[in-house]
Amino acid sequence: MSASSEASVKPIAKWQRSPAMILNVVGLVVTAAGMLLQIAAGSGLYPSLAGPIVLVVTALIVAFGPWRWTAYIALLVPLVLGVGAIVAAAMTGEFTSQLVAFGNPGIVLGSLMHSAGLIGAVVGAIGMLRRPRHPLGDAAA
C-alpha cells in the first residue's frame, strides 16, 4: 500500500451499542438460561430446547444485525414468549406453581430468571424502538 492509498482508507465505524439494546440482549440470554435451568431441574413445561435456541438466535440477531427491523424482532420474540407464559399460567397454573415450588430451587430460580429476563428484554426492545432516528438513516447517525 502506498502512502496515498493509506490516507484514503476510512476507519470502520464502531459497533453502536445503546443501553436499550444491551438490556434486550441480556434479557434474552437470561431468559434462555432460565429456561435451560428449568429443563435441567426437571420442569415439564418445556419439552424441547426450541425456546432457548430461538432466544439465543434472537439475541445474536439483535446484537450483531445492522438491520432496522432488529428492534421489532427484539420486541416480538420476548412478547410472544411472555404472552405464552401468561396463557400457560392462566390455563394450567403450572408456570405459577413453579414460582413457589420451593422444594426444587432450580425450577424456582429458573422461573425467576425466565420472568425477569422477559421483562428486561421487552423493556429494552421498547427503548430500542423509542430511540430517535436520523433522517438520513442509521448510516448517517
What separation, in Å, do the N-terminal and C-terminal C-alpha atoms of the chain show?
30
pTM score of the predicted model: 0.78
What is the predicted pLDDT for the residue at 59? 97
pLDDT category, 119, cuts 50, 70, 90?
Answer: very high
Write the CA distances from 72 to 2, 41, 61, 63, integer angstroms: 45, 32, 11, 13
On the CB side of 54, how many CA atoms lie within 13 Å of its CA? 13
What is the predicted pLDDT for the residue at 91? 83
What is the predicted pLDDT for the residue at 97? 76
* Mean of pLDDT values over 1-19: 58
What is the predicted pLDDT for the residue at 140? 47
Distance between CA atoms of residues 84 and 62, nearest Å: 21
107 φ/ψ angles, rounded to the nearest 5 degrees: -70, -40
What is the predicted pLDDT for the residue at 30? 98
What is the predicted pLDDT for the residue at 13? 46
Distance between CA atoms of residues 137 and 141, nearest Å: 7
